[in-house]
Structure 1
Amino acid sequence: MSSTAPEHAAPAAGSAAPVVAVEDVHRSFGSGRTAVHALRGVSFTARRGELTALKGRSGSGKTTLLNLVGGLDRPDSGRILLDGLDLSGLGEDELLGLRRDRIGFVFQSFGLIPVLTAAENVGIPLRLRRIPARRREERVRELLALVGLDDHAAQRPGELSGGQQQRVAIARALANEPALIIADEPTGQLDSATGQSVMQLLRAVVRSEGVTALVATHDPQLMELADRVVELGDGRILPG
């Protein structure tokens, strides 16, 4: 599917304005003849409650794009807006706060802390925000139940399957009720059946929690579960 045209207005209450707006974004690494042009004028939007899959071969620009939208990197030119907020106008401390409070990350390698239980891993973002213990424990229970792991709260990552670990990672990403979830190949280390189960969970979570998700994936079966598919090639969005 092709991308939609970028929209510039900040979202009003009850409006259908996009949660994410990427506007003519360019990003290169290096300089001169050896420069790598990772993104070349990328524009697209993602709306609330929508799961957008990013597809493309390795080197197409998917991870670079996710890093820019997640505030982990800055574009050379163009704009990225999250809920109408222009990320280019934020300092490093403000970007850190944005990632902590408004964005949830899900990694291919799960990113769980081995010595902590599933419940403790999910609760990390809430501790960073100094949420009171009672409310934190309630939210952790809610999230583990949401991802089907309420009976595994006391187990550590090494005692869980790969699929269960990724479910914990999804619960952790939801802890602070983010506007956006960014997932880079979240099923890359899972077998096809487990990967599809995790993607179905992510699809259900997007709908039930009303969040937006950007998911980079190579798997055609997983793309079928997305609301939209944006294909990248040589740093550009390809027509769909």
Structure 2
Amino acid sequence: MVKVADVRRSYGTGPAAVHALRGVSFEIGRGELVALKGRSGSGKTTLLNLVGGLDSPDQGTITVDGTDLAGLGENGLLALRRDRVGFIFQSFGLIPILTAAENVGVPMRLRKADPREREERVALLLAMVGLADHAEQRPGELSGGQQQRVAIARALANRPALLIADEPTGQLDAETGLAVMELLRAVVRGEGVTALVATHDAQLLGLADRVLELSDGEIIEH
């Protein structure tokens, strides 16, 4: 599903340049849940942004679902992020004025899905994440764990092949974080999704099929 080969990414030039990634290579099979660990500043977020098509490498190649990202123009990358990659962020990223159901439906509105299909998919996803009874509540009326569940449902709205999550439990207490990670694990199995999840929580790492460790921009452990 994902193939990363000798990827390098730096910010700035000259002596002040920051080398975020230094020749990173790995592969992720279909249906795998792979955890990415490493200290703050190790390059995790940079790597996730590159794999998700939010940024481009200085060197190396990234292939997602058989597509070389370097061959995509801006419109191609937009389509990739809309239709084939789902994103989950530490800060939830929900739209405050929209209900949980409306937030989940946003990606389907962007691709102009049929309204009936959209409503059915939203109801299914909210039930899947255990929030069927909270569809009409806005983010401010939900707990942190509930908001992250809405964010997971939204990420799955367009049936992505790849799910990318950047510290999805970072703002949650340990018990809630574990419940959210177990939900991600179940979603990967149930929906047949591949997932790359950055996390520093040792308990959560145990739920992954495989762990990649980044240190100073390099993979040091598989």
TM-score strictly above 0.5: yes
| CA offsets 1:63-110 (integer angstroms, 9 cap, x no match) | 000000010100001000011110011111110111001000001000
Query: 1:105: which partner in 2?
Result: 87
Cα distance in structure 1, aligned partners of 2:132 and 2:85: 24
Pick one of 69, 82, 99 that aligns with 1:117: 99
Task: Measure how far apart 1:21 and its partner are.
Answer: 0.5
Query: 1:67: which partner in 2?
Result: 49
Q: Is residue 22 of structure 2 the alignment partner of residue 23 of structure 1?
A: no
Q: Is residue 197 of structure 2 the alignment partner of residue 215 of structure 1?
A: yes
Pick one of 153, 177, 180 that aligns with 2:159: 177
| CA offsets 1:2-31 (integer angstroms, 9 cap, x no match) | xxxxxxxxxxxxxxxxx1100110101111
Query: 2:147: which partner in 1?
Result: 165
Q: Is residue 200 of structure 2 the alignment partner of residue 200 of structure 1?
A: no
Alignment of 1:35-184 (within 5 A): 35-184=17-166
Q: How many equivalent pairs are there? A: 222
Task: Measure how far apart 1:32 and its partner are.
Answer: 1.1
Aligned AA for 1:65? Answer: L
Cα distance in structure 2, aligned partners of 1:89 and 1:133: 33
Cα distance in structure 1, aligned partners of 2:58 and 2:96: 37
Pick one of 190, 201, 211 that aligns with 1:229: 211
| CA offsets 1:13-58 (integer angstroms, 9 cap, x no match) | xxxxxx1100110101111111111001100111111111000001
Secondary structure at the counterpart of residue 104 of structure 2: helix
Q: Provide the identity percentage.
A: 76
Cα distance in structure 2, aligned partners of 1:186 and 1:96: 23
Task: Measure how far apart 1:239 and its partner are.
Answer: 3.0
Secondary structure at the counterpart of residue 106 of structure 1: strand
| CA offsets 1:137-170 (integer angstroms, 9 cap, x no match) | 0000110011011111111111110000000000
RMSD between aligned alpha carbons?
A: 0.6
Cα distance in structure 2, aligned partners of 1:199 and 1:182: 13
Structure 1 ranges of 4+ moved more than 2 A: none
Cα distance in structure 2, aligned partners of 1:208 and 1:47: 16
Cα distance in structure 1, aligned partners of 2:174 and 2:193: 25
Aligned AA for 1:109? Answer: S
